[in-house]
Amino acid sequence: MAPLVLHVTGARPNFPKAAPVLEALAAYDVEQLLVHTGQHYDDKMSDIFFRQLGIPKPDVNLGVGSGSHGRQTAAVMSALEELFEERRPDLVVVYGDVNSTVAAALVASKMGITFAHVEAGLRSFDMTMPEEINRLVTDKLSDLLLTTSTDAIGHLGNEGTDPDKIHFVGNPMIDTLLKNKDRFDAEAARAELGLEGPYIVATLHRPGNVDDPADVKELVDAMHAVADQAQVVIPLHPRGRARLEEAGFLDHEGMRVIDPLGYLEFMGLVRGAAAVVTDSGGVQEETTVLGVPCLTLRPNTERPVTITHGTNQLVRRDNLAEKVREVLATGPLTEWDVPPLWDGHAGPRIAQILADSVGAAKRA
Ligand code: UD1
Ligand code: UDP
């Protein structure tokens, strides 16, 4: 019987990372089982990615939904424990740094099931971020650590991780970007939203920006100062939407809040933007490859390679407007660098490592 490889996904950023791995692993003699935990469930936060990226429909949806960290993580753990008992996977694959990731890592590890972490070793060194806790726990327990950048290898080394477990494979989210780039239609995005002239795309969902009312007030003022310079389009994540709206986010000329967009529509909009303001992890990487200036509204990033190689810079609420002015004055970038191995072939590299670990050969 072919070995069983079970993939755990659950939240929006997981899907563009898992897509190329699932595709590349299909070339090997393994059975694949795709699990969706149900952490994200709105069509625009979940199903649309499967349709647009051709990801197979999940074999299992655990339907855990939203909840506090403890409740959500526990719900994923108890459902996965039952599933792993039943299916006895030979290898579990987890992606990124969300609650579904750490929940799967804890269950696999306690059941003695080998598991691989795609996007291992990223560190913001900011323990107020729930993702940093998820990253540390997941990596500590992981049997195969697949990294997107060389700084990640350094972090894992400093933490005493066995070097034989670490593999530098590149960035599968960028595989998805490069594969679909011809489908990112900036003109269609512009026409759909009736945009004229330079515009800025913003995505904001980190607790550090949208949870505390005092932070939200400052954020609203900072974004209004941005809208005074260019139109701002914000496909707003459901987290914090109510709080931002209550604080008058929309009550300013040039501010355009819309629902989250499908991957292709979002990337089309980003591709045509004069700049992006974000607190997303993935968007820092995508703008780096597209050459769109990225202003990251956070005190730190676990993706410093997007600053050293890419188009990213960290900004604060109190200097955001000034940084936007600088970027608009500079105009479109003509030269920028892309980090090593962000080349569209991470999926096949990851698949080879996963297949080797379960002793699977390529299908004839
Ligand atoms: C999660 C991840 C974060 C990631 C983000 C990507 C954790 C701890 N956080 O944050 O790292 O950057 O996803 O988008 O795992 N909601 C909906 N519809 C949905 C999903 C969520 O309305 O389909 C609302 C609910 O009110 C929910 C809130 O968003 O309580 C937060 O969702 P949750 O998955 O807990 O965290 P995110 O903020 O989405
Ligand atoms: N994204 C999208 N539509 C949107 C906003 C983001 O398709 O309206 C995509 C984005 O291109 C990236 C992923 O969602 O591929 C990033 O997810 P998110 O910002 O939610 O999570 P993070 O990367 O911060 O964990």
Find the radius of gyration of the CA atoms of the chain: 20
Amino acid 291: pLDDT: 96
Q: Which CATH number fits domain 184-330: 3.30.1370.60, 3.40.50.720, 3.40.50.2000, 3.40.190.10?
A: 3.40.50.2000
14-23, 67-76, 181-190, 242-251: lowest mean pLDDT where? 242-251
Which residues contact ligand 2 via a Cβ below 6 A? 12-13, 16, 203, 235, 260-261, 263, 266-267, 280-283, 286
Full-model pTM:
0.98
pLDDT tens-digit map of 230-240: 999 999 999 98
Residues marked active site are found at 205
Residue 260: is its pLDDT beyond 90? yes
Residue 253: is its pLDDT beyond 90? yes
For the chain, give the mean pLDDT.
97
- 8 Å CB contact between 132 and 302: yes
pLDDT tens-digit map of 176-230: 999 999 999 999 999 999 999 999 999 999 999 999 999 999 999 999 999 999 9
Phi, psi of 316 (to 5 degrees): -110, 165
Mean pLDDT throughout 259-271? Answer: 98
* Residue 259 Cα: closest atom of ligand 2: 8
Amino acid 152: pLDDT: 98
Amino acid 240: pLDDT: 86
In short, whether 238's Cβ falls inside 6 Å of ligand 1 is yes
Mean pLDDT throughout 7-30? Answer: 98
Task: Give the number of the ligand closest to the Cα of residue 37.
Answer: 1
Task: Give the number of the ligand closest to the Cα of residue 71.
Answer: 1
Strand order in the sheet with 60-61: 60-61, 31-36, 4-9, 91-95, 115-118, 144-147, 166-168
The architecture of the domain spanning 4-171+342-357 is 3-Layer(aba) Sandwich (3.40)
Mean pLDDT throughout 167-179? Answer: 98
- For CATH 3.40.50.2000, the residue range(s) in the chain are 4-171+342-357, 184-330
Q: Tokens 């393994």 correspond to what residue?
A: 30
- Ligand 1: distance of its center to the CA of 32 in Å? 26
- In this structure, the residue with its CA closest to atom 12 of ligand 2 is 282
Mean pLDDT throughout 122-138? Answer: 98
Amino acid 332: pLDDT: 86
- 8 Å CB contact between 310 and 342: no
Amino acid 51: pLDDT: 98
Alpha carbon distance 154, 136 (integer Å): 14
Best residue for ligand 2 mutational test, from 178, 266, 277, 297 (most atoms within 8 Å of Cβ)? 266
pLDDT tens-digit map of 41-89: 999 999 999 999 999 999 999 999 999 999 999 999 999 999 999 999 9
Residue 335: is its pLDDT beyond 90? no
Best residue for ligand 1 mutational test, from 12, 14, 37, 39 (most atoms within 8 Å of Cβ)? 39
Phi, psi of 111 (to 5 degrees): -90, 5
Residue 119: is its pLDDT beyond 90? yes
Which helix (H) or strand (E) is 82 found in, with range? helix 69-87
Amino acid 15: pLDDT: 99
In short, whether 205's Cβ falls inside 6 Å of ligand 1 is yes
Task: Give the number of the ligand closest to the Cα of residue 53.
Answer: 2
Q: Give the three-class secondary structure for 137.
A: helix
